[in-house]
Chain A
């Protein structure tokens, strides 16, 4: 079982360049999330999606865009990268529902982005 797959795993960008991070899940989950993790800050939600064709802003959405054209994929875009976007990015997904099991997030392995 692949679970949640993120590509690329590592990337170095120059300020002003653009790029897209891809998240793919094979669990038929409705909800998908993009987080960034910085030292001492914990995981902060960038954007999320509650279903195909829908997206919503999280805690730190500025400088990022997302798309969910297919249920299994959630793309995170940086149109003009800045050094402040140097971080580790995690994608996660979960099933719909209120029971405790459905609320569990499954994470991808992370994408390490450095912006010079």
Chain B
């Protein structure tokens, strides 16, 4: 089983739609969580951190459920420019064995 699992998609949605991505992680000792965005043939860039209380940044809402080891990302009012791959990222601590694990990503296509 992969340490971080995501639905690979692709998700094809019309402009203005609401779309949700899910992610599960296997290490219960994981400490911090993020969503990154990666455009085609580009490097990953931080979209937002994910906090236990849930957090929102404009049209984007992230949720964390530690008990279920589940992370989600909700995008409201999708724009064409939201088309990208969304990576779920989990950190397991800040020691010599520090690990940052990436999910394989979920591809989103937003159509006009």
Is the C-beta of A43 less than 8 angstroms from some C-beta in chain B?
Answer: yes
9 residue pairs of the A-B complex, CB under 8 angstroms, read: A33-B100, A41-B104, A42-B87, A43-B87, A90-B44, A104-B46, A104-B49, A105-B44, A107-B45
A40, A100, A103, A109: the one contacting B42 at CB < 8 Å is A109
Chain B interface category by residue count: 20 to 34
Beyond A98-B31, A103-B91, A107-B45, 17 extra complex contacts between A and B, CB < 8 Å = A33-B100, A40-B8, A41-B104, A42-B4, A42-B87, A42-B102, A44-B102, A45-B100, A96-B94, A98-B94, A103-B34, A103-B100, A104-B49, A105-B44, A105-B89, A105-B100, A110-B42
Q: What are the nearest 8 A-B pairs in CB distance?
A: A42-B104, A107-B43, A43-B102, A42-B102, A100-B49, A103-B32, A98-B94, A104-B46
A44 to B89, CA, bound (A): 12
Tell me if A's interface is mostly helix, strand, loop or mixed.
Answer: loop
Chain A residues near B (Cβ < 8 Å): 31, 33, 35, 40-45, 48, 50, 56, 90, 96-98, 100, 103-105, 107-110
Contacts of B94 in A (CB 8 A): 96-98, 103
Contact B44 A104 (CB under 8 A): no
Could you give, for residues 1-27 of chain B, a 1 whenever the CB lies within 8 Å of some chain A CB and a 0 otherwise? Answer: 000100010000000000000000000
Contact A50 B96 (CB under 8 A): yes
